[in-house]
Structure formats: structure tokens, C-alpha cells
Amino acid sequence: MRPHPNETNHDDASAGPEEVSRSQRRREALDVLRLAQTVSEMSDAQLKSIPLSDDLLDEVRRTRAVRQHIARKRQNQYLAKQMRKLDDAALEAIRAALEYDRDLARRETAALHQVETWRERLMADGDDALGELLAAFPRADRQHLRQLARQARSERAASKPPHAYRELFRSLRELFGAPSDEAASD
């Protein structure tokens, strides 16, 4: 029986170790597509930390400008196609920058959670929690923190706007040296 003209005769001995299966190439292409989608959803400030060429930055901006769903999907695929032309080292540098940003965001979030936990402890436990905080941070202003905690408790009890609650957060954030994030103070 003659082989079909489109079929090729594959021998296992002729397949070199550098040949990548079609499935593996597809997985890699989908990985770059997810990377392109992630990059296209980033703000300009976030993009500054990503090592992209000027051409790719322009392409990312064009992708972000597209608003219709299907057209955006098509533009993301085109961006991924352009990114697949990069060498592996460039793609790894982009992935490493994204991972660093994620780790930085996790650390900042953890620091803000610590500040929020202390704020709640100061409001709930009062002077006992304040004593523990002052043991850890002797440079803290005892009187100011105590006053803010009391005002925050009274605001909460009276259902007033949380002005002292927010100010207590700001004071603790400065004390801990945590990153500034006004959204977390609400």
C-alpha cells in the first residue's frame, strides 16, 4: 500500500532531541498568550517595570485601546504572536518581572494586613494592646495613638464617619513603615 502524499515516514531514530511535539508548541503558544493578556491588562505605571521593547509597548497600548471583546481577543492573539518572536531569555525576563511584581504586592498586602490587625487590636483591647505596640515600637507616640483609638471606638459606637479610624491607620502605617495605600484604610 502506498503512503498518502501528505504523510511522512517518521522513524523514532530520525527524530532528534531538539524536535518539539506539536502539543508542546501549542502549550508554549498558549502560555505566551496568557502572558500577553496579563501584560495588556497592566497600567502604564506597571508596564514601566516590565522589560519590553518600544515596538511591543506600542502593541500593548494598541491592544488596550481596543474595547470590543472579540476584537480585543484578536488583538491579544496578535500581541502574543509578536511576543513569540522574542527569544526565550526575553520572555523569561518578562515573566521574572511579573513574578517580582506579584511578590512585592504580596509583601505590601501582608504589611497592610499587619497594620489593620494592630488597629483592630488597639480599638478592641485598648491600653493592653497599646503597651504591646509600644514595647515593639518605643518611638511611637502613646498619647496620640491612645486618643485615636478612643475616638475610633466612639465613632464606631455612634455610627459616625470613620475619621479617627482612618487617622489611626495612617499613624500605624507610618510607624510600621508600610507602603502607602489609601484604599486599604477604608
Long-range residue pairs from 159-167, CB within 8 A, at least 24 positions apart, any chain: 162/186, 165/119, 165/123
Rounded Cα distance, 118 and 3, in Å: 75
Instruction: Specify whether 172 is located in the same domain as 137.
Output: yes
Q: Give yes or no for residue 125 having a pLDDT over 70.
A: yes
Say if residue 58 is in the same domain as residue 112.
Answer: no
Q: Is residue 164 part of a domain?
A: yes
Any domain includes 9: no
pLDDT tens digits along 63-79: 999 999 999 999 999 99
**Residue 55, in any domain of the structure:** yes
Average pLDDT rounded to a whole number, residues 155-175: 91
Task: Give pLDDT, residue 104.
Answer: 85
Task: Let me know: does 52 contact 40? Beta carbons within 8 Å.
Answer: no
| Pick from 3-7, 67-71, 122-126: least confident | 3-7
Report yes or no on 95 lying in a domain. Answer: no
| pTM metric for this prediction | 0.56
Do residues 73 and 129 share a domain? no
Same domain, 174 and 117: yes
Q: Are residues 114 and 179 in the same domain?
A: yes
Which structural domain range is residue 79 located in? 22-86
Residues 110 and 82 in one domain: no
Please give the tally of structural domains in the chain.
2
Q: How far is CA 179 from CA 8, 59, 110, 170, in A?
A: 61, 32, 10, 10
Q: Residue length, the chain?
A: 186
pLDDT, position 181: 45
Residue 100: per-residue pLDDT: 86
Amino acid present at 71: A
**Does residue 34 lie in a domain region?**
yes
Same domain, 77 and 40: yes
Examine residue 99 and state whether it is found in any structural domain, yes or no. Answer: no
Contact 94, 51 (CB under 8 A): yes
Verify that 54 and 115 share a domain, yes or no: no
- The three cell numbers locating residue 179: 507602603
Distance from C-alpha of 146 to C-alpha of 168, rounded to nearest angstrom:
9
Q: Mean pLDDT of all residues in the chain?
A: 85
Determine whether 42 is exposed, middle or buried from the number of CB atoms within 10 Å of its CB (0-12, 13-18, 19+): middle
Residue 29 lies in a domain: yes
Residue 94 inside a domain? The answer is no
